[in-house]
Amino acid sequence: MTSRRPKNGSSRSNRPSKEDLAVGESSGRHLLAKVVEPGFCSGCGLCAGICPSSSLMMEYNGKKELVPHIKGHCSGCALCLNVCPFSGEGKSIDEVSEGLYGHLPGVGRLVEAGWFISAQEGHACRGDFRSKGASGGMASWFLTKVLKDGIADAVLSAGPDKARPGSWTFVRTEKPEDVVSLAGSVYHPVPFDEAFRAIMSEPPGIRLSVVALPCLAYGLRKAMRKIPLLGERIVLLASLTCGLMPTHRYSEYVSLESGVLPEEMGYINFRLPPDEPDSGNYRHVAISRDGVPGKPVSVKGIPDFLWGHGCFIQGGCLVCDDVFGETADVVFMDAWLPEYARDTKGNSIVLCRSLLADSIVKGGVSSGECRLRETAGERLLRSQVQTLWIKRLLLQGRLAKLEAEGLEYPRRRVVPDMKVYRENEKYFLLCERLKKAVEELPLETFEDLESFRNIVGHLMVDGADQ
């Protein structure tokens, strides 16, 4: 897979000048014009969190993507622009990750995965880490260990927002025994704005570990340089591989499929283990506000089709080229490898970039708490081949199309390539048809679900014919 800095991207003349961006009175508006309005926002919420004037607020737009809106006076400090992972401002992902890890002893690099000291596959052995999650339990084991050993005082990770049913937030966990209750990925945008403000008002000397998706991890790294206190407080940044983040509309669809009206949905367990020997066919289940679980929904079928065709996906994700959380100290992922396909208990791959993360994982192996073996680079990439296809290869075609249409896009590391677009033109056209057909359809009632299924079903047949 080719990966070098394109000559173009973010360099057109209609871009605000550096002076505007640095001191302008409307940095928030520049952020909206440059990132949000063209559809390149991932909903990370960092801009809203870092804004000292609280002038940005995260809200759903018409497509139910989570994006910032301007709500108050902007002082022009440009912090929002500087930390946004899609603004093209500040150091690139490659520069940040090389600065953090490129000098460490024994470090290696893969173009698609970044710098790392070790890559290992397997699972947690003790406790209920493995049985409570669907990916081998290594992330929960690791974060529990971080708290038990006093490396951090608390962990911030995504979980259901108890105060706002149907939403997700960053949950602060101090007790090691509570970490496992947050096991399982969240396939819904989780804005970091409130967590950011909470970190800044923590007592002096607090040490935190944050679990952030790749875009948020990169934005946080930029923010940690801008605001040294934030850098002192976040002592360990963990990430997860990320294969596009669905919008709130995806949750509405899942809720209806599960038999729960979206207005009654409390939260969704996105990683219920499969009920057949096929680890890739995990299930979603919506839980009502009264705590009653609905019917599990297997992801193979309409959910995978929507996801694989970029439908109900945050706009920024479709121009995101970081699969492996290249700026995080440790990254956890499902081991999507053929030999684990029938193992429904799940298996993880753990990529350690920092010496601290590597020593924690090695300690777990020597104490018998984890069963892991080394993963070769080629296996690491193979385990995420589908995500690499969408986020690296197809991105070349997507960017080439934007360029051909004269549209500006954020600085990316993959090279736009019209040949990739042409070779996958039927796929891209189907993506467009699907989006046009369903992106604005109401998904509030079971009748809405019926029409939605019919439309998507026809397009799935068309897709299968290609």
The whole-angstrom separation of Cα 344 and Cα 121 is 15
**Chosen residue from 24, 45, 137, 246 binding ligand SF4 by CB under 6 A:** 45
Angle (nearest 5°) at CA 143 between 117 and 170:
115
- Here's the x/- map for ligand SF4, 21-40, by CB under 6 A: it reads as ----------x---xx----
Per-residue tokens: 428? 């891209």
Per-residue b or e along 400-413, where b marks 16 or more CB atoms closer than 10 Å to that residue's CB: bbbbeeeebbbbbb
CB of 76 to ligand SF4, least distance (A): 17
Among 46, 96, 220, 395, binds ligand SF4 (CB under 6 A): 46
| 446 CB-contact burial (10 Å; exposed 0-12 / middle 13-18 / buried 19+) | exposed
Q: Give least dist CB 398 to ligand SF4, A.
A: 13
Tell which residue, 302, 362, 296, 352, has the closest CA to residue 324.
352
Min dist CB 46 to ligand SF4, Å, is 4
Binding range to ligand SF4, per CB under 6 A, among 81-89, 135-143, 223-231, 412-420: 81-89
- Min CB(322)–ligand SF4 separation in Å: 6
Q: Is the dihedral of CA 241, 244, 247, 250 positive or negative?
A: negative
Report how far residue 247's alpha carbon sits from residue 273's, in angstroms, rounded to the nearest whole number.
Answer: 22
- Element at 211 (helix H, strand E): strand 208-211
**Smallest separation, CB 367 to ligand SF4 (Å):** 32
Distance of CA 345 to the CA centre of its chain: 23
In this complex, which beta carbon is closest to ligand SF4, that of residue 325 or of residue 364?
325
Smallest gap from residue 374 Cβ to ligand SF4 (A):
26
Return the number of other C-beta atoms located less than 10 Å from residue 456's C-beta: 22
Strand order across the beta sheet in which 370-374 lies: 168-173, 154-160, 208-211, 234-240, 330-334, 348-352, 118-124, 370-374
As a whole number of Å, the CA-based R_g of the chain is: 21
8-state DSSP, 293: B
Q: How far is the CB of 422 from ligand SF4 (least distance, A)?
A: 24
Site for ligand SF4 in 307-326 (CB under 6 A): 314, 316-317, 320, 322
Which CB, 190 or 260, lies closer to ligand SF4? 190
Tell the smallest beta-carbon distance from residue 323 to ligand SF4 (Å): 8
User: Per-residue contact track with ligand SF4, 415 to 444, x per CB under 6 A?
Assistant: ------------------------------
Residue type, 20: D
Q: Are strands 114-116 and 154-160 parallel, antiparallel or unpaired?
A: unpaired
CB of 458 to ligand SF4, least distance (A): 28
By CB under 6 A, residue 215 contacts ligand SF4:
yes
Which ranges constitute the DSSP H helices of 334-445? 355-366, 377-383, 385-388, 394-404, 418-423, 425-438
- The stretch near ligand SF4 (CB under 6 A) out of 70-78, 238-246, 275-283, 452-460 is 238-246
DSSP 111-151: TTTEEESEEEEEEE-STTHHHHSSS-SHHHHHHHHHHHTTS
* Closest to 244 (Cα-Cα) out of 321, 298, 302: 321
Given the rule CB under 6 A, which of 21-29, 83-91, 143-151, 180-188 is the region that contacts ligand SF4?
83-91
Alpha-carbon distances of 296 from 271, 278, 305, rounded to whole Å: 10, 15, 17
Position 41 contacts ligand SF4 (CB under 6 A): yes
- Can you tell me which of 244, 350, 380, 449 binds ligand SF4, judged by CB under 6 A? 244
CA distances from residue 329 to 114, 263, 317, 326 in whole angstroms, order as listed: 11, 38, 22, 8
Tell me the per-residue interface mask from 174 to 203 with ligand SF4, x by CB under 6 A, - otherwise. Answer: ------------------------------
Q: How far is the CB of 309 from ligand SF4 (least distance, A)?
A: 15
Out of 85, 246, 294, 410, which residue is the one contacting ligand SF4 (CB under 6 A)?
Answer: 85
Point out which span in 84-92, 196-204, 293-301, 349-357 binds ligand SF4 (CB under 6 A).
Answer: 84-92
Q: Is 93 an interacting residue with respect to ligand SF4 (CB under 6 A)?
A: no
Q: Is 214 in the site for ligand SF4 (CB under 6 A)?
A: yes
Residue 339 to residue 380: CA distance in whole angstroms: 14
- ∠400-402-407 over CA atoms, to 5°? 135
Our CB check for ligand SF4 shows the closer of 36 and 360 to be 36
At its nearest, how many Å lie between ligand SF4 and the CB of residue 276? 28
Shorter beta-carbon distance to ligand SF4: residue 218 or 267 = 218
Of the listed pieces 42-50, 156-164, 276-284, 332-340, which binds ligand SF4 according to CB under 6 A?
42-50
Task: Note the residues at the interface with ligand SF4 (CB under 6 A).
Answer: 31, 35-36, 41-47, 68, 84-86, 213-215, 219, 242, 244-245, 314, 316-317, 320, 322
